[in-house]
Amino acid sequence: MSDATLFEQVKDEANRVDPYPLFARLRETPVSRQSDGTYVAATHAAIGSLLHDPRISSETLPPADRPKTGNPISDWIVKPIRDRITDTHRPFIFRDPPDHDALRKAVMHEFTQERVQLLRERSHVLVDEILDKHAGSTSFDIVDDLAYPLPVTIICELLGIPTEDEPQFHGWATQLATALEPDTMADTEKRSENSRTFETISEYMTGLIKEKRRHPKDDMLSGLAVDGVPGIPRMGDYDLIATSILMLVAGHETTVNLIANAMLALMRHPVEFARLRDDPFLAPRLIEEVQRYDPPVQFRTRRALADIPMGDVTIPEGADVILLLASGNRDPAVFTDPDRFDPDRGGIRHLGFGGGLHYCVGAPLARFEAEVALTALARRLDNPRLQADPPPYRPGSALRGPKHLRLSVDGIRKA
Amino acid sequence: MSQDHPSHGRPAHDHLVVVGASLAGLRGAEAARKAGFTGRITVVGAEPHRPYDRPPLSKQVLTGGVAPGATTLPNLEPLDAEWRLGSAAAGLDRSGRAVILESGERIAYDRLLIATGARARPWPDAAEGRLGGVHTLRSRDDAAALRASLATKPGRVLVIGGGFIGCEVAAACRDLDLPVTLVESGSTVLERVLGSHLGSVVAALHAARGVDLRFGAKVEALEDDGTGHVVRARLADGRTIATTCVVVALGAVRNTGWLHGSGLAFDDGGVECDADGHVLDTDGRPDRTIAAAGDVARFPHPLYDGRRVALEHWGHAVAQGAHAGRLLAGHSIARAYAEVPAFWSSQGGITLKMVGLTEGADALVIAQGDPKTGRFLALYGRAGRCVAAVSFDSVRWLPAYAAMVAEGAPFPPIRGAVDQGRLTVLPPGFPKEDER
Amino acid sequence: MPDPNPDRIGPSPSPDFSRAAGGLRVSVDLNRCQAYAQCCYAAPDHFVLHGAEALHYDPAPTAAARDAIERARVACPVQAILVEDAGNGRP
């Protein structure tokens, strides 16, 4: 056993398959100091309290610092300006009020129920198309074949990104999502790589936004790009770019884990899979239970703006605070028999979508995408079995999920 | 011993009577069932309706979004109760352990939950109060009558009283594009609850939406034109307001009249309870067969140094109702009822939510946000401790402040919050006692 | 006289407008509600936010809304939506 702190072990890829025993040990101290000076909140109560604490900031990214090029004009004039722009126009997941509230309000104004309803209907079509395409297969990778393409198509259609451009985002999104991994942010090299990707994707978005201004369509980017509505703050270009990148990345990197984690849980609990096939309306409860039991976003980082007393521990001003959402979700003080996967537990107040001001914007999309996907899989997959248990995992510890989830099936039934 | 643990050896004919088919009564009966009470339950209600939800009555019901009869409360536990609706309790015979209905019928009880709530304080002149077009707003039937009246586009509506009901009615009138005047004797709206500092913030919102606000004014008389329908209001300064629709929003009186002769301690402000929720007799002794909950129960609140309060809050009716139900079911009560008071109001598109009690507060800070933007959080202090907090469209911060109120944290409690301006301690501006 | 057969309704039943056959009863604990608006996406015909935080809801949805209401109920992050679903045999 290494002497690494518990949270270092959480980040260690060796523990990706099952970090939950580590969480149980972390919960023994509701808020614990790690050797690097970060604080980890691991109980439901501590996390819930910090999510709503006014002294907790989301402005956690270190200041931008692009690599020097050796060209003095670039290094001493352009770079500081661009670094400053980057710092002041972070995506709103990394912003506090009042800026956060204004940006989010503009997004929510475009995130209409009508658009969500249309996309829900659209996802039925997409899922059926995907399964039809694999009709003759006896093997099906939940991640590559369904859990990844579905949310990506939906987020692109919501934003108004041409489908043919999508493939180039795959690598970019994966790269940018590492901004949520503490080790990336602590590593100058990795941060630089992140900045470069951000610039590349920004260039693409700048072009697309220009196009939306010229020829607005009925999509979210057009709505955000053209002149605003009274009472709805209009975004500047830099904020608009950062916001659209945020949503694009979130749409690529989270729901894939929800669908995959759900399917993994169902394969490990075949009784529940059979129930879902017989009663598709189990899905909403089942999805909330997956969000509790094995959530796609396992933790988020915040920063303390002042000393925050938490029982025996005081989080000092300036400290990074890890809110270990996935651990709070297994807190026996809140959930009876918390390590049991049980869609019938009532009144689940899970932390899977976060809470407070930064509650997941895309939660409604995640819910219906997972519902449509899981009910179709339950209906159409004939005798699915895991090819590998545990499946291989992607490297991320904050955004955690299988890299592949390959199933053997006797067949894929008609819709 | 058996009195402390009535659940042991409970006779099968054990009978819980709930007086008040109200939110508190319903949640109380459900809690008793949930706590294992298997005897009979009878719910007595003065109105002919099942327990219904009241908050929408001063909001969506008035604007027509929700039908007045549609707010019947969901049952959350199988009750298997007998409902005696439309039969008000008229008396309580404690020595005979019976509730006496208006009809004279006696309903014997073994355990009794008093949840008779409150009624709208009537217009002081009864004859004027009976004029056509003069409304109060408390019950479902009140709301149906006022809704019907507003739907006829009655011209200028006059709201008397700038409390929450008055403000919500005025806001609903503007939603319906009806002209409305609000007359309040104090210096602004919501002065007693929020103080004049934040009351003025709400007043500015209503003024901006076109409500004609008259502060420091008093309606002296409501006058008809001989047909028995109100046509104008006469103010103390002699001016008149032409109106055919008046809403008297002067607060509530507790429904305790039926307790005359019961030997219990009560007045218009509620029936006295001990910290557990048992009612007290006039000698201050608890009657352990009877509990009270909701608007009608006045009890010593542990968070406020045992000050006796009777709270007209939705959440309080739920929580204290459930507490009383468990108490009567014989559940051992680990500690006294100590829920942090909490309520909400939405008016004119903004939502304010409050935790704690502002009574006696001597200081106020804007802890986050800015009243100018309409989104902010304010905190009230009393003698150096946090006693209440209110959020204006900023509810997601409120749980943190609720915790400070529950702990009685030092005031002002925090610095370094996001979106926090300078923490300037302000006088909240509560009216002096003799002006209340 | 007490009702000899104390079913659910005593001697003075009121007409119950609140529920079409098999319909639902809904109430939201608005102290608890933090305007996450998940219900508004799950059941847009029955839950609407006015302004930033004022939730208006349909207290008496018909049986046809059962699935949408159930989606809204389970999605609520603070579990503030209370439903009585007589048609489904569960309060």
pLDDT at A70 (0 to 100): 86
Q: Decide: A198 and A82 in contact? Cβ < 8 Å.
A: no
Across residues A300-329, what is the average pLDDT?
96
Least confident of A116-120, A250-254, A371-375: A250-254
Token pair 């819980």 is at which residue? B16
C29 touches chain A (CB under 8 A): no
pLDDT at A78 (0 to 100): 83
Q: Do B84 and C52 touch (CB under 8 A)?
A: no
How close B335 comes to chain C (CA, Å)?
23
Q: Do B373 and A55 touch (CB under 8 A)?
A: no
- pLDDT, one tens digit per residue, over C6-22 is 333 333 333 344 445 67
Q: What is the ipTM of this complex?
A: 0.92
Inside any domain, residue C31 = yes
pLDDT at A327 (0 to 100): 98
pTM for this entry: 0.93
**Could you tell me the maximum CA-CA distance found in chain A, to the nearest angstrom?**
68
How close B61 comes to chain A (CA, Å)?
24
Q: Using 50, 70 and 90 to split pLDDT, how confident is the model at C91?
A: very low
The domains of chain B, with CATH numbers, are 15-119+253-329 (3.50.50.60), 122-250 (3.50.50.60), 349-427 (3.30.390.30)
How close A370 comes to chain C (CA, Å)?
13
Reading the block at residue B27, the tokens are 């949640």
C-beta neighbour count of A34 within 10 angstroms:
17
Find, in chain C, the residue whose alpha carbon is nearest to that of A363: C38
Residue A67 CB-density burial (10 A; 0-12 exposed, 13-18 middle, 19+ buried): middle
Q: Which of C53, C57, C84 to mutate to test the interface with B (most CBs of B within 10 A)?
A: C53
- In degrees, rounded to 5, the angle at the alpha carbon of residue A151 between the alpha carbons of residues A321 and A338 is 50
The angle that helices A149-159 and A237-253 make with each other, rounded to 10 degrees, is: 160
Find, in chain A, the residue whose alpha carbon is nearest to that of B396: A356
- What average pLDDT does chain B have? 94
- In degrees, rounded to 5, the angle at the alpha carbon of residue B32 between the alpha carbons of residues B28 and B34 is 115
pLDDT at B110 over 50: yes
Q: Do B369 and A98 touch (CB under 8 A)?
A: yes
Residue C82: list chain B partners with CB under 8 A. Answer: 74, 76
Residue A167 CB-density burial (10 A; 0-12 exposed, 13-18 middle, 19+ buried): exposed
Q: Which of C18, C49, C56, C83 to mutate to test the interface with B (most CBs of B within 10 A)?
A: C18
C-beta neighbour count of A68 within 10 angstroms:
11
Collect all residues from B whose CB is shorter than 8 A from any CB in A: 367-370, 373, 375, 377, 396-400, 403, 414-420
Least confident of A3-17, A22-36, B172-186: A3-17
How close B239 comes to chain C (CA, Å)?
36
Across residues B264-279, what is the average pLDDT?
96
Q: Which of C74, C81, C90 to mutate to test the interface with A (most CBs of A within 10 A)?
A: C74
Q: Which of C5, C19, C30, C38 to mutate to test the interface with B (most CBs of B within 10 A)?
A: C30
**Cα separation, A239 vs B203, whole angstroms:** 35
A76 touches chain C (CB under 8 A): no
- What average pLDDT does chain C have? 79
Across residues B55-66, what is the average pLDDT?
96
Q: Do C40 and A113 touch (CB under 8 A)?
A: yes
Number of compact structural domains in chain C? 1
Across residues B357-373, what is the average pLDDT?
95
Q: Among residues B399, B387, B396, B370, which one has the least CA distance to residue B428?
A: B387
The angle that helices A283-293 and A363-380 make with each other, rounded to 10 degrees, is: 110
Containing structural domain, residue C50:
16-85
**Cα separation, B13 vs B110, whole angstroms:** 9
Inside any domain, residue C21 = yes
Report the neighbours of A using a cutoff of 3 or more CB pairs below 8 angstroms.
B, C
Q: Among residues A131, A383, A379, which one has the least CA distance to residue A279?
A: A379
Q: Decide: A139 and A409 in contact? Cβ < 8 Å.
A: yes
Find, in chain A, the residue whose alpha carbon is nearest to that of C77: A349
pLDDT at A28 over 80: yes
Of chain A, the percentage scoring pLDDT greater than 70 comes to 99
> Domain holding C41: CATH number?
3.30.70.20
Residue among A48, A55, A356 minimizing CB distance to B417:
A55
Q: Do C18 and B84 touch (CB under 8 A)?
A: no
- pLDDT, one tens digit per residue, over A38-95 is 999 999 999 999 999 999 999 988 877 777 888 888 888 888 888 888 888 888 999 9
Residue A356: list chain B partners with CB under 8 A. Answer: 396-397
- pLDDT, one tens digit per residue, over A172-211 is 888 888 888 888 878 888 888 888 888 899 999 999 999 9
pLDDT at A2 (0 to 100): 43
Q: Do C44 and A113 touch (CB under 8 A)?
A: yes
Q: Do C56 and B59 touch (CB under 8 A)?
A: yes
Q: Using 50, 70 and 90 to split pLDDT, how confident is the model at B336?
A: confident
pLDDT at A194 (0 to 100): 84
Across residues C50-60, what is the average pLDDT?
95
A364 touches chain C (CB under 8 A): yes
